A and B are shown apart, each in its own frame.
Chain A
Amino acid sequence: MFAKLWDQHVVATLDGGVELIAIDRIFLHERTGAAALNSLRESGRPIADPSRVFCVMDHIVDTRRGRNDQTLMPGGQAFITETRSAAREAGITLFDVTDPDQGIVHVVSPELGIVLPGCTLIAPDSHTCTQGAFGALAWGIGSSEAEHALATGVLRLSRPKTMRVTFTGALQAGVTAKDMILTLIARHGAGGGKGHVVEFAGETVTALDMEARMTLCNMATEFSAMTGIVAPDQKTFAWLDGRRYAPAGALRTQALQQWQTLHTDDGATFDAEIVIDAGSIEPMVSWGTSPEHSIGISGAVPAVAPERALAYIGLEAGQRLAGTPIDAAFIGSCTNSRLSDLRRAAALLKGRRVAPGVKALCVPGSMHVKRAAEAEGLDVIFEQAGFEWRQSGCSMCFYAGGESFPPGSRVISSTNRNFEGRQGPNIRTHIASPEVVAASAIAGCIADPRKLRS
């Protein structure tokens, strides 16, 4: 499948094994977009095709009600205003702070049908791999590479190696795509993907809905893969139907013929293969400062664990994770902030209350998600349970100098990175599924959502 995607985009083969690869879609955001657009303008080079370049304000925007360009990050407003003026000048499509389509780039792009099966899509954002869930070759790059693609419509690349990760069997109740990807990273290491394009395959993956597939692909970058991909199928095609930028009518019929060929043929070989029994996966939670420091929720911190990580996180080797008191709970981010994520968390929160003293926050992934959730009354469930209900954005997935949790807080978070200081100085982050976050918020300590159900 990777070869089909790649070969279709080879513009030229150059010396030294380098190929010019056509880039179909470029997404920018206000945190790194202005740097690329300004640098391009200074070089006097125009954007090759502005109609296929999109920009969204998501990273540092305020998520409180009634927001405008002002943001809690010191100096943050300049990122918003400079990106806006650069985007307008460049003639690219901008989803601005108060736009009804605003949201996190990797939530917005799929819900507007901007990412499509078989397309190449890049953004100066590591979680661009999320969009591989649609059978697209979508990956994160730096600002210079973004500038290159903006100016030329191509990137200079060497063909990456390929890996297939096959999940077999059915997931246990209460186990999600988040737990699948954390299991892969915990078992094979945060460097395990080594720049490969990873195809997620097998009956477990096929059974996932599109939003769960996005969660699975989202953390391919935490596996150090170039990206993750899932073969498109009827679920993919149905999901894209009627989306604003997706083809309709005769164009859709023509596109479908090509999209249906985007699967791995029998007998195809990969540079590396991993098989995981999905039935062996538990709800996962991280105990340290890398996503590879993750274990099943009934487990304990390994007996032999890096001292530095333990010192930062404030746990001891061999300590059980369940029952560890928490100060805050966060549901949001490009990993787990879509409607299905919020529904599953709300199902646990309904009729219950967040434990006293726990700060709890839900930040929908986009304004579309927010409105859809409100139409179902999910906002009421979250608020009655004691969660704050916010406007969409990346919010507290990372700390940019603005909003954070109180110093030293232990946070259970549906995000993707538990690095030292990621959510703020000395903040101790435990990453997990929205279910684990909801159950833990109620219990006031790290808790297994399966016990809450029964």
Chain B
Amino acid sequence: MTPFTVLTSVAAPLLRDNVDTDAIIPSREMKSTGKTGLSAGLFAPWRYLSAGSRNPDPSFVLNQPRYAEAHILLGGDNFGCGSSREHAVWALAEYGIRAIIAPSFAPIFAGNCIRNGVLPVVLDRESVAAIAAANQPVTIDLAQQHVEIGSQRWSFAIGAEAKAMLLEGLDGIELTLKHRERIAAFQRADRLARPWIYFSTQS
């Protein structure tokens, strides 16, 4: 996973509440069992003039020339709600979006972002609106936990684990497997306490 440290980019405003993962990538655009080849389907229902076509709708924010190089998205409340499909984040990351700033995120989507090097930044609605209104390049510094435009600065909160995973591009499975002895010990005790949970005899 690509580490996330400091990012400077224009921020494309998509200030709608409840942007769902069906809009980020509709099921019909999930054409293979892999994690790649998804960016063309990103926001397909809004980005293209008709279903199945690839004719850009000029009114959609990512089709506007000034946001062509945007690596940051500004969103509304409950961003990424709906289906758990990680394809939504794979499509965003493949397209080049590395951070999303929104008043709140749906929980599964936020988790998927962190697993794929995409930073979900929670700022209140007024701050997101101010960043959109400024319409200038935005700098996000994860280590310092702030968003900056010139002299304006907004601080954000993020869990210590999510921060470390993003900053260092860590593999969660590798980290967890360091605790395999503790996991095995838990299961030995748990097999005695809750034998009905287990179907096999060996750990």
Residues of chain A touching chain B, judged by Cβ–Cβ distance below 8 Å, are 8, 11-12, 14-18, 20, 22, 24, 31-32, 34-35, 38-39, 43, 45, 49, 51-52, 73-75, 78-79, 82-83, 116, 118-119, 124-126, 140-145, 147-148, 151-154, 156, 158, 189-191, 194-195, 221-222, 224-226, 245-247, 251-252, 254-255, 258, 290, 292, 308, 398-401, 417, 419-422, 425-426
Contacts and interface: CB of A to CB of B under 8 A. Distances in A.
Contacts of A148: 172-173, 176
A195 B106 CA distance: 7
A399 B51 CA distance: 12
A16 B159 contact: yes
A39 B171 CA distance: 13
B14 interface: no
Contacts of A14: 161, 179
B54 interface: no
B13 to A, nearest CB: 15
B87 to A, nearest CB: 8
Contacts of A12: 179, 182-183, 186
A419 B22 contact: yes
Q: Which 9 A-B pairs have the closest CB atoms?
A: A16-B160, A191-B78, A425-B51, A401-B28, A247-B196, A142-B86, A142-B112, A144-B115, A51-B200
B81 A400 contact: no
B30 to A, nearest CB: 7
Contact of A32 (B86, B116, B176): B86
B175 interface: yes
Most buried by B among A39, A144, A148: A144
A141 B111 contact: yes
Interface in B171-203: 172-173, 175-177, 179-180, 182-183, 186-187, 190, 194-200, 203
B56 interface: no
Most buried by A among B83, B115, B180, B203: B83
A400 B28 contact: yes
Given A158-B161, A308-B16, A417-B22, A126 B89 contact: no
B84 A158 contact: no
B45 A420 contact: yes
B66 interface: no
Contact of A126 (B26, B84, B196): B84
Interface in B4-35: 16-18, 20, 22-23, 26-28, 30-35
A186 to B, nearest CB: 13
Interface in B142-169: 159-161, 164
Contact of B186 (A11, A147, A245): A11
A74 B200 CA distance: 39
B3 interface: no
Interface string B82-95: 11111001000000
B104 interface: yes
A147 B195 contact: no
A116 to B, nearest CB: 7
A280 to B, nearest CB: 25
Contact of A194 (B26, B104, B173): B104
Given A144-B116, A154-B183, A401-B28, A190 B160 contact: no
B199 A51 contact: yes
B33 A224 contact: no
Contacts of B196: 116, 246-247, 251-252, 254-255
Contacts of A421: 22-23, 26, 45, 51
A11 B179 contact: yes
Interface of B: 16-18, 20, 22-23, 26-28, 30-35, 45, 50-52, 77-78, 81-86, 89, 104, 106-108, 111-112, 115-116, 159-161, 164, 172-173, 175-177, 179-180, 182-183, 186-187, 190, 194-200, 203
Contacts of A11: 179, 182-183, 186
A158 B16 contact: no
A142 B84 CA distance: 6
A170 to B, nearest CB: 32
Given A11-B183, A78-B33, A292-B18, A156 B195 contact: no
Contacts of A156: 161, 172, 175-176
Given A254-B195, A254-B196, A398 B33 contact: no
B27 A401 contact: yes
A248 B28 CA distance: 43
A147 B173 contact: yes
Nearest to A126: B84
A125 B27 contact: no
Contact of B107 (A43, A52, A222, A226): A226
Contacts of A225: 107
B82 to A, nearest CB: 6
